[in-house]
Amino acid sequence: KGKIKSSILFTDTLEGKIDYLVKKLKVKKFSLHIHPYVAAYVQQGLFSLKYRWRKKFNAGIRIIPDQNLGFLQYVFYDKDGNEIDLKEEIEMK
């Protein structure tokens, strides 16, 4: 059976993945490829989620809108452009 995840908690899931990436895997610069609508939400305003994540994790985060991804899909890439697989390693509780 498929699992359904709430879209409301999606940014919390992303924050958890970023936390894991920075604190456990020690990755300081990476890009996050997400759907353009989600990218707009994450980057909106002066104190956007992107800004807060950068300050909280002291990391270089680039948000890349990717039309090929589904609404709740995401892909992390390191600074060299290699995909970082975080799909099922951790899930938010």
- Contacts within 8 Å (CB) and 24+ apart, 69-74: 69/33, 69/34, 69/35, 70/35, 71/7, 71/35, 71/37, 71/38, 72/5, 72/7, 72/10, 72/35, 72/38, 73/34, 73/35, 74/14, 74/17, 74/32, 74/33, 74/34, 74/38
pLDDT (0 to 100) of residue 44: 95
Which pLDDT does position 63 carry in this prediction?
A: 97
The confidence score (pLDDT) of residue 85 equals 87
Does residue 48 lie within any of the structural domains?
Answer: yes
Note whether residue 92 is domain-resident: no
**Domain assignment of residue 89, yes or no:** no
Domain residues for the domain of 56 are 28-80
Q: DSSP code of 7? A: S
- The verdict on residue 38 lying in a domain is yes
- pLDDT tens per residue, range 24-79: 999 999 999 999 999 999 999 999 999 999 999 999 999 999 999 999 999 999 99
Identify whether 18 is part of a domain: no
pTM of the entire predicted model: 0.84
How many domains does the chain fold into?
1
